[in-house]
Structure 1
């Protein structure tokens, strides 16, 4: 007769289940990709088309019409603004897709969750992985464009970009777990996520320079602005991909490497922990609520 402690039905071991169920995660990622592009003519090519159209619209509106691109008539603009813009877009697109899909993943897989038991964390995690699959071709295009513009990054710059991607991935996963669980009980969570994603692009220096923020807000509010992990992630991508294509005179935010990257990693890790705690507390009644 077993004397082991009783466990609440429907509750797993948290993120540890992801490692134990790697094969199931791979199947879910494959399923999501097949379902998403079923009947699509372009298929995975949409990973190129969507950010490409987004880039062209922003570049014309901001770089050309509003004068953020450096030119003979506008020497105060950003050099290689196209690289600056696209390096931010690829990262923010990864975040918005990962969080948006992860927050809907539990409700979207309600039929499967009600039929069989498997670790619930697999669903939001699979959404993040699918976003990573879409991120790869975009980063390849960015690297090719950078190479054509004389890109010669240092190992420190590449390490900073890797840290920035980790920061954004941890944040997206944590928020995806949090809102994915809450969305089962309160469908208003989807609308809240949509608002956050709408704000995300403008609340970080994807389209504009951090210097504009500092000059308008001052040092105190600029430091508050820097507490946003997405801001730090975007700045690391600018540091790694855009800065090496310039003459090196452009500045990076002060203390980016020594202070803001560690702070952003800590904040993103805390969000991941919070999301996991909330998810584990609520997952026991997912099948009943769905």
Structure 2
């Protein structure tokens, strides 16, 4: 008597093709790995450091004091902008977040080359983890800003919180889209890191942090008004103005008409928000395409 056995057959669709994924959408299926990468990044940041997390407060504090002394005292900006320290710091935290995030995301694949070469996992996990780690390091600066604003009469409202969340909702995907491009290119051409350093330098001065948008508008008004439109459509600039409205605006005296005029949004700011969102979405899509194109050779290039 013979016994015949049948081997079950599985459809090809039941298996995942190595190296083939859905890009950023795969992040949601690998939340545990993302959590591990974020924990690794934050724990290594200040390992063997005496001050530890205090450096998250010390560095931006020194930077703020330096800018406040030079721009506020030496150049007299405190005479033109009421509560200039809060104006400066509320914009500076956005620029600091952008600068740290773009640097972290650009280096994320190269810094994790041991993992990239040995095992396959969605490569987008690394830049996303780097972005979230930068956000974690941003929180101490935000906490200092909130405390200072509260001591100056700031009261949180739904409008203020909405402005803050709107600013973060624009700048975070913008950094991710830009970072995906430089992150991918940096694996093959390390010159990308030098380009990013130039972008970080420009970012410090390309948004109304140490000056006001009115100064730019005054010089760009007329035949050069299109330059102001481009300037204000920058997602980082949009986020900075939203932060100003959320934290600096409420502490400005309501009986000071000149000061209230400075608090007002630029003309057509609603359109600038729309343009900023469009730029962010396009950059995120382009960044994903570039990243997917270059990731095929990550292991070899590393």
Instruction: Give TM-score, length-normalised by structure 2.
Output: 0.89
- Give 1:186's aligned residue: 189
- Following superposition, the deviation at residue 8 of structure 1 comes to 6.9
Indicate the SS of the match to 1:103.
helix
- Give 2:5's aligned residue: none
In 2: Cα distance, 1:69 partner to 1:59 partner: 9
In 2: Cα distance, 1:284 partner to 1:220 partner: 40
Deviation string 1:2-44 (CA, Å, 9 cap, x unpaired) is 4449987434320111111111111001111122211111111
| Residue 227 of structure 2 is aligned to residue 221 of structure 1 | yes
Instruction: Give TM-score, length-normalised by structure 1.
Output: 0.93
Structure 1 unaligned regions, length at least 5? 71-76
- Give 1:240's aligned residue: 246
Deviation string 1:182-205 (CA, Å, 9 cap, x unpaired) is 111111111111100110010111
| Residue 31 of structure 2 is aligned to residue 22 of structure 1 | yes
| Residue 267 of structure 2 is aligned to residue 254 of structure 1 | yes
- Give 1:280's aligned residue: 292
| Residue 159 of structure 2 is aligned to residue 156 of structure 1 | yes
How many residues are paired up? 283
1:271 to 260, 277, 283: 283
In 2: Cα distance, 1:42 partner to 1:161 partner: 29
- Following superposition, the deviation at residue 108 of structure 1 comes to 1.2
Extract structure 1 runs of 4+ deviating beyond 6 A: 5-8
* 8 A Cα contact 1:62 1:207, kept in partner: yes
RMSD across aligned C-alpha pairs, in angstroms?
1.6
Distance 1:252 1:153, change over 3 A: farther
- Following superposition, the deviation at residue 152 of structure 1 comes to 3.1
Deviation string 1:227-268 (CA, Å, 9 cap, x unpaired) is 211111101000110011102413221232x22222212211
**Superposition pairs for residues 197-212 of structure 1, below 5 Å?**
197-212=200-215
